[in-house]
Amino acid sequence: MRLVDRRFRITREDILANLPYHPACAKWFDNHLLTDRNATPPSDFKGRYAQAPSAARVVYDHYLPEHPDLTRFAELVAETDRLDSAQLTMDDVIAPKSYILLGYTLDPRTGLGAFQDYFRRLLDALATRPAEEVLDLPDVQARVGRMREEDRAFREATLAHSRMEGSVVVTDFRPLSASPVGNRFLVYTLFPEAAVSIRLHSASCSPSMEEGATPAPAPVWSPPKRSRGPPSRSSSRSTARADVIPVPHPSTLANGSLPPAAG
């Protein structure tokens, strides 16, 4: 919440990744299209910028030449690329496995609540264990179990609170006392004619606004305009939040794969 509330001061001790550039940071890594001249760092900035499927790819490519042992994380980074840029198959959406399933348990838009401590434990585990072993950890199993238990309720809530406006499906969860738990891409299996989805939450029950959860990226300085793929956008109002999730042309759903999202 400190980033959203603009209470986080950037210093030379900070490394920014997956956020707009700030001149006070020590290093900066990002993969989003820069659409505002104010977002352009000086030519001698420390870090790396590239238009890549994920910010993780940018960091990985930066350090790999001097740390070739990082190749042990090649599969993890490749799967992060797929999830972050929505290069997913139909099975990834309706029956996720391995790193993709782990990614859903980390996504605040899934609705599983606070996850900072969980995120750190997962990072430690992935440093030494394969995805299959990490999925067997009790706290991971608990999150996966909850996703599966609430899958039907999530689909029913999505159907009941969604409407089509042209090629956009708008899901409004604001009347609900709590946002349902579910994979954010499932909406496209329920509304295959949709090309983009918008999901509205009350701030009090928005999954990524809960205490301890990491909110959708929001800089503490005046943010430049950027273009990115599936991650959500937070409303500037304190009473609501909107997730915008660009996705696939519906014809690709029938072929079992989702095309890359823009950005």
pLDDT in tens, 41-57: 888 999 999 999 999 99
Mean per-residue pLDDT for 235-245?
44
Mean per-residue pLDDT for 250-257?
36
Contact residues for 137 (Cβ-Cβ < 8 A; gap 6+) = 121, 125
Per-residue model confidence (pLDDT) at position 35: 64
* pLDDT of 135 strictly over 90: yes
Mean per-residue pLDDT for 130-153?
95
CA distance 44 to 32: 19
Query: Residue 163, SS3?
Result: strand
Does the predicted TM-score (pTM) go above 0.85? no
Mean per-residue pLDDT for 214-224?
31
Asked if 31 and 53 count as a contact pair (C-beta separation under 8 A), the reply is: yes
| 52-56, 94-98, 174-178, 188-192: range with lowest mean pLDDT | 174-178
Confidence of residue 8 (pLDDT cuts 50, 70, 90): confident
Give the rounded distance of the alpha carbon of 167 from its chain centre.
Answer: 22
Q: What is the mean pLDDT of the chain?
A: 79
* pLDDT of 37 strictly over 90: no
Give percent of the chain with pLDDT exceeding 90: 59
* pLDDT of 211 strictly over 70: no
* pLDDT of 84 strictly over 60: yes
* pLDDT of 108 strictly over 50: yes
C-alpha pair distances (Å), 10 with each of 6, 41, 166, 183: 10, 15, 42, 33
Q: Exposure of 128 by Cβ count < 10 A (0-12 exposed, 13-18 middle, 19+ buried)? A: exposed
* pLDDT of 222 strictly over 90: no
